[in-house]
Structure formats: structure tokens, C-alpha cells
Structure 1
């Protein structure tokens, strides 16, 4: 069956890593608009959106060309298409454990391989904001209909993994969190094989550092998810290994690496394309239900890393830049591994 994929490379290293993602499976300047109608129309006519990176040079962030580029582009996409459920896997690859900032004795407690599921269209980000003199107000707001989709996805994901869900909240203080707990308790009986636990967000932040192997599937509200998913993204040792997906309640979903556009690396052939490639794998899994093909890409990434191939950000202690391979070569090696595994 033919599928249409909208590839939005973005800026900085976005086009470079996007090329490698497409190999394994252009556009701001011409519009003077970070989220032009042409982009909206392209996405509407597609079956999935594979997004690159956007942000522009930090030193020029106040210039009209770059001002609010990330906000306008990414948040614009999320809001326009209702991408309300964000998925961020965080996995420590065994032979790259030395990149993790945690002590070896912590990592020795168990395998670190979790998925953080974040509600993306509610909470204080989308509530009322106002300032009155010396007072400011940011209103946290949730409805049952906003809470159900991420919880449903969390339970269903857990069924394919280790059958454990951790619902993170602040129910000792917040009514919104109490609503999350009510909805979770109402839904859990639909998934009797899944063990569900509640955890306050401050405790969860602590446990991500002292005992990350305790987590399997973590699901939480927008604000808490923003913070916890960023904390979890540090565990693999580089954002170059961190893909993500943003799902809607329809059929169009978006996939993007968790890192930024790193304009200082543009054109140097040193950026790590793995997060973009794994975002493509998530696209196959969630948009097209091609689970075997997605697993094949994941296995190819594992194989290439296990063979010791590294981009610059993956170098282990004692290794030098002379030991690194470039963006294009990493893409080639993963594509070759996919072909070999497919035989």
C-alpha cells in the first residue's frame, strides 16, 4: 500500500539527519514563515509527518528570521493537528553505558529501558495566562477527555512491554492530578495484566536518577512530562539516541528527534542521525502498523552500535575523534544492516 510521508527537515543539522532517516526507510527561507500554509497542506495530504529539527542559531534568536521559530513551527504543528500524546523512549544501550552520567553501581541494578508518555495539549501551557500588576496567573486545566488518550496509550504500550505503568502526578496538592488518578483507576480494570502505580512527581524525579531501572511506562500531564522526559533523555548520554512521536486522535501523527537543530554542526558531517532514524522506526510502528519492519530498524541500530561504530557524540572514554564516523556513514551502515537482517 502506498503511503505519503511529509518530511520536514527544518534547519541546522535537520536536513543532514533527515537524509539518513530517508535513506534507511526542502524550506523555511522561501516562505518567511515558520509554519506556512504550504506546510499545513502538505501534512494534511500525508499519512505521517517525519519532522527534523528547527530552532536556528542561538546568537541570532532575536532576528525576525529565527524569532520564535521553534515555538511557531513545533507548537503550531501540535496545535493545528491535535498531536496530544507524546512518546519519548529512553534506553541505555549496553555497550554505551559509559556515556550515562549515572554511577555504574546504579546502572548495575537493572536494565534502563523506559517510555515516557506525556499529554501534550493541556495543563498550564494551554490554560489561562494573565498578569495583573504584581500578580501573575497561569491556570492548570484538564478534562477527562484530555486525560484518557495518554492513559490508554500507556496501558496499551505496557501490554507490549513489561506490563507496568507509573502514573506521575501531584495529587496531594492539585485537583487536576486527582482527576488524573480518578480516570486512571476507572481505566485500569480494562487492562488486568498491567500493574499500575501512582507516584508524586518529586519522587519520580528522584527515582529517575537513583533507580531508573524501576520504570517501564511512565505517563503524566504536560508540565510534569516536559520535565521528566527531558530528565530521562540525559540517561542514554546523548540526545542523538532520543526519538519521539506525537500522536493525534486521528490518523496523522508526527515523529521527530528530541534534540535541537545544532546549527554549529551544520554541514560538518558529524551529527548523529540515529534519533531521526529511530523516529522513522516509530513512524512505521505507530502510523503504519509495520511492527516487524520497525523492529528490524531498531535491531540494525543495535547491531551497528554493538560493532563499535560511533558518531562524535557517542565516543567512549579513551576514544578520539579519529575513531568517529560521520553522519552519512552512520546512515549507510544502518541501512546496510537493515538489508542484511532482512535477508
Structure 2
């Protein structure tokens, strides 16, 4: 039953925290471009921030349910139909749209809003509301793209995107698709924000099948800590140090086993990779201190 699956607890946690905006950076480092199943010339340099609405849409819409027949097979009633409700309010769309536009102001200044406005009324509301909000951010360029076209462009030309804004279901699917750009789910960080407390986590699951083997990639968790520093602690410079340290370690040729392909100097286990990042943090801090001292 869906109500007993772990995902049900996660949805309830997001709602309780008021975490309406999920931020997922998707970065393909030059050093790991060969680790992606896509061609290096397609993914190298891609730097996308996916902003997904988290508390509306099909995952939370009511009514929802299933209808079972009276006939039984093996003692259990059979499903005859099921239904979900996709619902959004203008307020829900506006608040997550502002997160996307404010993020774009600090990046390359472009928001791609993803919907299905040619079919869905909720997407028509989405497009109208996002267009209205865009008027408050004259320095940010807005484009609207249908979700099917976005899915295609993500794997054909990911560098065309800066900030991608979309609703709950579309964002769930597109953000996992975008993981192939980085070469591994283990590289991806996630922040769920909007309420008084943020929720920060690597995108990968708990992976009980590899527990204790030292092969898990810790970089997604470390990058999630950088997001915590940026969005909850408001320590943007310190977040940048963590991100620079990750990039430095990868540039040096260190890899975890999940990062297949490319040139690797050394395949590190989980604790070794964590230690390398710690060393790189110290080096980045020393370099910045030396720069400011000049």
C-alpha cells in the first residue's frame, strides 16, 4: 500500500516543514564529463538549478483513491479504477516562482518554466502566474517550455538551461533524468526550503546493498551541506569553499567507483574521498586568504 511506503513519510515531512521549494543543482564538472552516458561535448560545463514545487499537484491533490470490485481472486478484491487530483493555487505557484527568479538573479539570469499548458488547466494557471511574477524581475529572461520538449533538450543540449522551474510531478521526473548529466546520482545534492526549517539530503537512496563496503560516493552529501550553508546559514562564501573543494578533488583525478569512465588518478573509497575533500577545503581557504592578503 502506498501509505506504508517510505515516500509517504517523506511527503508528510515536507508538508510539516512547509518546504514548498526543492532546489537541485545539476553540475557536470569538466573533469567528470566522460563519466556521463551522454557524450562529453554535450554535457561538459552544464550547470543547471532545478526548482521544483513540492507541496502541490498530483502528490497532494484531493480527492484521490481507488475503487475495488466485489469479485475476488485469491481472496483479495481487485482494483477496477483509481483517481488522483492535480490542483494548484496561484499563491502556490507564485511563491516557488519567486524562489526560481531570485536564484536566477545570482546566476546567468534565465528561467525556463516547464509546464503542459496545451493540455492541462493547472499548467495554464502555472504559465499565467509565472509570467506575471516575471514582471517583478526585469533582469531575468523567462522562457516557457512544454515538459516533453524539456525532457528532450535536457539530454540533447543541457547547457541551454540555467534555472528550470516546474511543478511537483514534472520536477520529480526531470530532476532524475538530469542526473545522467553528472555521471552518477551520488553527485547530486538537494535542498527543500520555504518553511522555518530546511531539509537537506543527497539525491541517492540509502543503498542498503552497499552498506559498510566503502564504495558509496559522499560528494552528494557534502554538496548538500554546501546548500545548507547557503540557504539556511546564509554563509554563501563558506558554501563556495565546499563546492570549490569538490571541484578541486575531481580535477586532481580522484573518483569513487560509481564514476565510471574518464581519466582517474585513483579510485577512492568513501572515507578516502571525504578526507580528500577535507584537505582540499584547507587548501582553498589558504589560497583565498593569500589572495586577500595581497
Does the TM-score normalized on the shorter chain lie above 0.5? yes
My pick for the range that moved more, 79-88 or 217-226, is 79-88
Aligned to 1:291: 236
Distance in 1 between residues matched to 2:145 and 2:279, nearest whole Å: 43
Alignment map for 1:1-343 (pairs within 5 Å): 68=4, 70-107=6-43, 111-127=45-61, 128-132=63-67, 134-248=80-194, 250-316=195-261, 323-343=266-286
For residues 12-71 of structure 1, the C-alpha deviation after alignment (integer angstroms, 9 at most, x for no partner) is: xxxxxxxxxxxxxxxxxxxxxxxxxxxxxxxxxxxxxxxxxxxxxxxxxx9xxxx94522
State the SS of the aligned residue for 1:333: helix
State the SS of the aligned residue for 1:328.
helix
Q: Which residue of 2 aligns with 1:11?
A: none
Residue pair 1:158, 1:194 contacting (<8 A) in 2 also: yes
Offset, 1:335: 0.9
Task: Report what 1:32 is aligned to.
Answer: none
Q: Deviations over 1:229-277 (max 9, x none)?
A: 11111211101110000012x3311100000111111111111100000
The alpha carbon displacement at 1:317 in A equals 5.0
How far apart are 1:105 and its partner, in Å?
A: 4.5
Distance (whole Å) between structure 2 residues aligned to residue 260 and residue 212 of structure 1: 24
Q: Larger relative CO (CA 8 A, sep 6+): 1 or 2?
A: 1
2:73 alignment partner in structure 1 = none
SS in 2 for 1:156: helix
Which consecutive residues of structure 2, in runs of 5 or more, have no partner in the other structure?
70-79, 287-294
Report the secondary structure of 2:48's partner residue: strand
Aligned to 1:37: none
RMSD: 1.8
2:113–2:145 contact (8 Å) kept in structure 1: yes
Distance 2:263 2:235 in 1: 39
Q: TM-score, normalised by structure 2?
A: 0.88
**Runs of 4+ residues deviating >6 angstroms:** none
- What 5-or-longer segments of structure 1 have no aligned partner? 1-61
How many pairs were matched up?
Answer: 273
